[in-house]
Chains A and B, each alone.
Chain A
Amino acid sequence: MTAHADIPAVRPRARISSRYLPYILSLPALLVCIGILVPFVTAIYYSLQRYRMSQPWNRGMNWGENYLNFLSDSSFWHTLQVSLVYAFLTVGIELLLGLGIALLLQKRSKVNNFVSIMLLMPLMTAPALAALMFKLMTNSNFGILSYFMQVLGFPDFRWGASPSTALFTVVLVDVWVYTPFIMILLLAGLRSLPTQPFEAAALDGVPRLEQFWRITLPMLTPYVLTAALFRLLDSIQQFDIIYAMTQGGPGNTLMVFQVEAYLNFFQSTNVGRSTALLLILWAITYILSNIFVKHWLRLRERARGEA
């Protein structure tokens, strides 16, 4: 075939490609959207139904009754409270610890680099496995943590088995697993801060603590917000650590959204209530993430001098 004959064959293909290219390029995103939206819309549909799989004859639309029932259901408000307390408590402690460790490791050295890598180890442990590990360590017969508590004079400290210490126990596991995540983000932030403001402050004799409050923390805030946002969204949806350690107990002490929804679906086969709970959790997550993102954008604008 000659080169002359090739030209007309190529041109139409190019025209078709350019016309459909945007659609072809957006196809993966569209498929992902469909993959997300179909279960989401299905969940909304189920949440508006009286739908318990063990009573198929009772199934029917109840148009939001599942949601209205929550208003008068004390266990729902307890779930909301426990979920929020757990989320803010874990994120708060992890931020403080993560920031403290990041500040200690800020200076680049072989030791600090090695320690920061070692501190990442818990993050590589599956949370459910970490929970089981802590369950063994807090076992009243042979657990090493129980032994330490005995040595410290608390022989009756019952960890996840007592309503008064269960929250502390699961928060401890969460902090152990996720503090390195915050630490590594903040460490990256600290190491990327410009050095000039700190050099100028040092020349002016500004005390280290003052430098931290006036310079480090404000400049680090976008990183703190990003880390807090990620952790908060994850923490409010906590399931594996709590379920593996106490199944939401003792009593209803640790009955957070995900555990409650899981039990409603898989144990009670109450699809309507389970999906309604998860959609409320989605709404809370959505609101929290919006608040955080708005703050983050405002800070970014301020940093650029646009606000």
Chain B
Amino acid sequence: MHDKERDLISAFMRGQMSRRSLIKRLGLMGATAASAGTLYNLMSTNALAADFDWKKHSGKGVKLLLNKHPYTDAMIANLDNFKQLTGMDVTYDVFPEDVYFDKVTAALSSGSSEYDAFMTGAYMTWTYGPAGWIVDHNEWINDPSKTNPNYNWSDMLDGVRKSCAWNGVPGGALGSDDAKQWCIPWGYEQNNLTFNAGMLEKAGVGVPSNLDELIEAAAKVQAANDGIYGIGVRGSRSWATIHPGFLSAYANFGEMDLSNDGGKLSAAMNTAGSKAFHAKWVKMIQDSGAADWSTHTWYQVGTDLGAGKSAMIFDADILGYFMNGGDNAMAGKLAYAPFAANPEAQAPTPNIWIWSLAMSKFSKDLDATWYFMQWASGPEHGLFGATQMDFVNPVRKSVWESMDFRDRLNKSYPGYVEMHDVSAPGASIKFTAQPLFFDLTTEWAAMLQRMVAKEIPVDEGLDQLADSMDSQLSEAGLR
């Protein structure tokens, strides 16, 4: 590396220069964007190494179980820096999402020590934690001899950090003082509105700001545009149908999945408020949803929007992010808006999905594995991923405050930053943490399918659902 370039980057690392100025001046020196990025990472690595013995586990290896995802791609793109920083080796297996969690369950339930750490969602830790397959990461986070001083755990977004912590008591509040940190947030998704601005304009409708407006807008935009449907939401027979837009809107009306009476849980989705909400949601899908809604996973929801087959989605914001790029037909034509379903609500309350990292209890060397964990979830990698790869949404406040990141988003993703800023304070997991999560939520999705198919009226369906859930909770000793 030339001395002048090194000096420039050092000045940047000391905060004496903005990232934009750095890249501009490097450019003047003839450095390409890619080489500038590499130089920046090298200097970041050096800066990291200054205050902590990163070489403590040099020569050791860590094996990861990963889902095929842009977060994984971002990590792999930056992995050489970790290897250089620590002298450790990292190997990994990457599986597509269809089979990923089966692989995780199989590996953990068999007590296999093959993988030291793996990607997970917070919901999954409600199974893995009580089963004794993962560790409480607080033990490492709070140990200064094991965690580098620049890790800055409090830099994590509060709602996200707390959503990954649970005390293991069914119904226990997430992020409580006695909660165990079952996983470390890596990247996350809020559920908001992504829309095709041209289609809305053609129909002469504004951006809907609550559920009633959304239902009306979806119907109008569908009528005004040939061969499309108004609103994309998930519908497959899976828990994943409930957690995105559906639960975000449901929670915004103050409705709950379960009620908690002194540690005894009961189904709470057959209240009058819940029934009214379900009736509207079902009607929205019947009137303006995809014809084959009941088979739609996140993939169909996203690709239909990207292909111009739907006008709006109420789903993960990053799905809208990815559909606005690449070779999607609608790339560059999508926009974003925060969405509070309840007209009386002060702000959106998106339920969130958090791709996280967790250490397997069966790892042969947890301390060494934690070195990888703190690097991968640290502020430096977060900033690298967010500004140079597609590591969105970042889970760290410092990354969201980065002007480089915000400028990048504002340039190509209109409304995305504002959407995030408005929604982030209310963003957290809205489900009740309990070990029957997947059973009950999948059954909820199956009942929703029956309601949309007009197999059962909403009121009757929700009463049946609540009875069934109560029976399962009783059987499991939770009620």
Contact = CB atoms under 8 A, between A and B. Distances in A.
Contact of A163 (B109, B126, B131, B455): B455
Residue with the greatest number of chain B CB neighbours at <10 A, chosen from A159, A160, A246, A249 = A249
A165 B227 CA distance: 23
Contacts of B447: 251
Interface string B225-255: 0010000000011110000000000000000
A53 B127 contact: yes
A147 to B, nearest CB: 12
B447 to A, nearest CB: 7
A106 B96 CA distance: 45
A278 B131 CA distance: 23
Given A53-B109, A163-B450, A266-B101, A58 B477 contact: yes
B449 A251 contact: yes
Interface in B291-342: 291-295, 304, 307, 309
A160 B453 contact: no
A104 B399 CA distance: 70
Contact of B295 (A52, A135, A263): A135
A130 to B, nearest CB: 16
A250 B439 CA distance: 16
B348 interface: no
Contacts of B293: 161
A158 B291 contact: yes
A52 B298 CA distance: 28
Interface in A73-87: none
B237 A266 contact: no
Contacts of B295: 135, 160-161, 245-246, 249
Given A55-B130, A141-B309, A247 B438 contact: no
B436 A249 contact: no
A90 interface: no
Nearest to A249: B237
Interface stretch (A118-126, A267-275, A294-302): A267-275
Contacts of A252: 446
Given A141-B304, A263-B442, A268-B436, A249 B131 contact: no
A210 interface: no
B292 A246 contact: no
Interface in B99-145: 101-102, 105, 109, 126-127, 130-132
A204 interface: no
Interface string B441-472: 01000110110110100000000000000000
B50 interface: no
Nearest to A57: B130
Contact of A156 (B126, B130, B291): B291
Nearest to A135: B295
Nearest to A244: B98
Contacts of B449: 163, 249-251
A103 B291 CA distance: 40
Contacts of A28: none
A289 interface: no
A160 B127 contact: no
Residue with the greatest number of chain A CB neighbours at <10 A, chosen from B132, B237, B476 = B237
B294 A268 contact: no
B382 interface: no
Contacts of A270: 439
Contact of A161 (B109, B292, B435, B450): B292
Interface of A: 52-58, 135, 138-141, 156, 158-163, 245-252, 263, 266-270
Going nearest first, the 8 A-B pairs with the smallest beta carbon separation are A249-B237, A140-B291, A161-B292, A54-B435, A251-B450, A54-B127, A250-B449, A250-B294
Given A53-B127, A156-B291, A249-B446, 5 more contacts: A55-B130, A138-B292, A251-B449, A268-B439, A269-B105
Interface of B: 101-102, 105, 109, 126-127, 130-132, 227, 236-239, 290-295, 304, 307, 309, 435-436, 438-439, 442, 446-447, 449-450, 452-453, 455, 476-477
25 contacts: A54-B130, A54-B131, A54-B436, A141-B227, A141-B304, A161-B291, A161-B294, A163-B449, A163-B453, A246-B294, A247-B236, A249-B295, A250-B294, A250-B446, A250-B449, A250-B453, A251-B237, A251-B447, A251-B450, A252-B446, A266-B101, A268-B436, A268-B438, A269-B105, A269-B438
